[in-house]
Structure 1
């Protein structure tokens, strides 16, 4: 590329520089996915039933993401690997869009249209509400503690 074509582009760090971030995401993701799997083993969803466990995991994980993001972006300077490990890794592995999508498909294909439609709508609405509510509540609590 000529110099004008490179203007405005950021240099991409090499793989060696990204190795700690990749390791943090991988370790966090393994922990989060393991916790989610344990939840589904502890509270399995019978065939054709509404997937309450997956909904609960997604809502809890999104609420935790709301709290985490306020703390690491607005309140204190976090270690550079805290957000990749906790946010992308642990909470990204804990929450699950793929299982949600499969649950909706299975419910609809199994003739459980009401449960499938409810899951299709309830999960993203509840997850977004959880992020917003948790972030707002965290901000309110932290403002009271540190006016």
Structure 2
């Protein structure tokens, strides 16, 4: 149990660091306003989750799930940040943008996980 907890903690530190770097990079590239970094992180994370699910299941690597899925991807993807970003847009009176943000995030993330599953299944 303790070893698994350490895997999750290490993976979470890596994922959170990657999310931070993505946020900084996108902010420098695009600037403030719409939370593009959160959308990008959630879509990429969903795609990678789809790939990892298939690969670990087919290769018998479920022992890596706590590190990769709960740790790295749990630290990398940002549903809590997504919720805060949505509420912030709403409270600023940008209701249409908040609704668009929710729709784009959910649709692209679902599409990305389907694509990740499909790609991984085709390649393995």
Runs of 4+ off more than 4 Å = none
Which string of whole-angstrom CA distances, capped at 9 and with x for unpartnered residues, describes residues 4-48 of structure 1? Answer: xxxxxxxxxxxxxx10111000100011011101111122251xx
Q: Deviations over 1:110-137 (max 9, x none)?
A: 1111211111111122111111111012
Q: Return the match for 2:3 from 6, 14, 20.
A: 20
Q: Does 1:29 align with 2:12?
A: yes
Per the alignment, do residues 84 and 112 of structure 1 end up closer, same or farther by CA in structure 2, a change over 3 Å counting? same
Structure 1 residue corresponding to 2:86, chosen from 92, 104, 108: 104
1:62 equivalent in alignment to 2:43: no
Q: Does 1:40 align with 2:23?
A: yes
Residues 56-109 of structure 1, C-alpha deviation per residue, up to 9 Å, x if partnerless?
Answer: 010001100100010001x211162x1100111001110010100010001111
Q: Which residues in structure 2 correspond to 1:1-147 (within 5 Å)?
A: 18-44=1-27, 45-46=31-32, 49-73=33-57, 75-78=58-61, 80=63, 82-142=64-124
Separation in 2, partners of 1:137, 1:25: 26
The structural deviation recorded for 1:141 is 2.2
Where 1:111 maps in the other structure, the secondary structure is: coil
Q: TM-score, normalised by structure 2?
A: 0.92
CA RMSD of aligned residues (A): 1.2
Tell me, in whole angstroms, the C-alpha distance in 2 between the residues paired with 1:79 and 1:71: 9
How far, CA to CA, are the matches of 2:120 and 2:15 in structure 1?
22
Gaps of 5+ in 2: none
Count of equivalent residues: 121
Q: TM-score, normalised by structure 1?
A: 0.78
More relative contact order, 1 or 2 (CA 8 Å, 6+ apart): 2
Structure number with bigger Rg: 1
